[in-house]
Structure 1
């Protein structure tokens, strides 16, 4: 299905309209650095998980509801060639949460990454039992819209600022068929950041993907 070439580094150059503010996607999604060719370590996204152009809003990958069901359409061949893409990296956790999440986020740097500063006692995140103080947000589901079409995607979030995080979480609304928001976090004392970032490249949007959150 997609067992072909190593996924090319993506140059993101389009603008994103976000709650009335025009910002470039570089503000929250870093452009991958090209690396010398080596044995493929990620599935190609060509004709794969990213629906672009007229295909946006269609297909098997239009609604992210967890890594396991999301990767289910791929054949056994891909699972054998790229086993690292069918499981979360060590020290990375995927947590579905009802809203409100009950999480206090703090920016790592101004408008550049957030971590969990605290969990609200008795809140959904605290009751879920996986998330911990100090976990770094590296991915979040968000609704993308283009005209009358929409998709729910897992978006790499290592470069999200606080406001982007809040708005991305808030886009997971019932009117889009969402009964939760899915957070992907990295636990720094357990994870290999390089491995995590390589995994997240698979979810980077290509340049011709519409990117607008519902207001």
Structure 2
């Protein structure tokens, strides 16, 4: 177990993701949405489209039609006990691994730091999503990545990748608050943000 104050750390690692859906209908609908709306850009489409720069859930979901909002209303709001927190860096957060390579949680907030001044994050919050810059050749995107099972270095690397040279004035953290959130509900929500395995990317160095 180790503690560290998040300042500006960079790690070059790649993670393979697999998308798990709770029903065939949900899987088929999600695949159709991805194809029509370009949620996940692969091949020559990487780095293009309305979804290439994540700025928060509300803005991200704007392109979807009313039909989708009626069919999947749970996808257009954060689950109970989940908070989306945009923070300028340095964040002023002390993260600790839950278990090696099995997620991180907020162990402490730096006194007077950005996170403490904002007043949303609390000790014990579990990091379940984070924006990260993803690079493929000369193209790049900023995506929200589910990170419940990130190791410490991967979580810190993702946070650090949100740099001004990529047009980032903040990093967006999504946290689950124990005692308020239902983890199964949160995981179902986060499936929507899992990149397909054939999406090319790496964190910038």
Q: Normalising by structure 1, report the TM-score.
A: 0.84
Question: What residue is the counterpart of 1:199 in the other structure?
Answer: 189
1:55 to 1:135, Cα distance in 2 relative to 1, 3 A: same
Cα distance in 1 for residues equivalent to 2:175 and 2:156 = 15
1:19 is displaced (CA, Å) by 4.0
1:126 to 1:19, Cα distance in 2 relative to 1, 3 A: closer
The Cα RMSD (Å) is: 2.0
CA deviation map 1:153-198 (0-9, x unaligned) = 0000001111111111110000000000000000010001110000
Cα distance in 2 for residues equivalent to 1:205 and 1:106 = 25
For residue 50 of structure 1, the aligned residue among 29, 40, 63 is: 40
Cα distance in 1 for residues equivalent to 2:64 and 2:80 = 22
The ranges of structure 1 where at least 4 consecutive aligned residues each deviate by more than 6 angstroms after the TM superposition are 39-42
Contact 1:42 1:85 in 2 (8 A): no
Cα distance in 2 for residues equivalent to 1:41 and 1:187 = 31
Q: Normalising by structure 2, report the TM-score.
A: 0.88
1:211 is displaced (CA, Å) by 1.9
Tell which has more relative contact order, 1 or 2 (C-alpha 8 A, sep 6+): 2
Task: Report the structure, 1 or 2, having the larger helix content.
Answer: 2
Question: Helix, strand or coil: the match of 1:46?
Answer: helix
Question: What residue is the counterpart of 1:137 in the other structure?
Answer: 127
Which runs of no fewer than 5 residues in structure 2 stay unpaired? 1-9
